[in-house]
Amino acid sequence: MKCPHCGYDTMQPGRAENRRFNWHWPMPVQVNPQCWFVADDGSIDAAVVLRSTNPQAFRCPKCRTIVVIGEQTP
């Protein structure tokens, strides 16, 4: 799949998981992510949305695809 945001040729397939609060998350208090991207091949678990952030997102009304734009660093 081509990325609809940046045009990159291959997006990594995976799934979104909703996880319960984890007291052992190594981040400051109240930024524990509850939504994760998990690659189909098991190569990566990446936080999608942290509790303390409001990332930009887009939804297609026709196919219901949702794209969450990650934090961009300068």
pLDDT given at position 71: 67
- Would 2 be classed as within a structural domain? no
- Would 3 be classed as within a structural domain? no
Number of domains the chain is built from:
1
pLDDT given at position 51: 66
Q: At 16, phi and psi to the nearest 5?
A: -100, 135
In degrees, to the nearest 5, what angle opens at C-alpha 59 toward C-alphas 57 and 33?
Answer: 40
pLDDT given at position 24: 59
Where in the sequence is the domain holding 29, given as residue range(s)? 14-68
pLDDT given at position 15: 82
* Cβ pair 46, 55 in contact under 8 A: no
Each residue of 32-74: pLDDT tens digit?
667 888 999 989 888 887 766 778 888 888 888 888 887 665 4
What span, in angstroms and rounded, lies between the C-alpha atoms of 49 and 69? 10
User: Residue 35 pairs with which residues in a beta bridge?
Assistant: 18, 49
- Average pLDDT for 18-41: 68
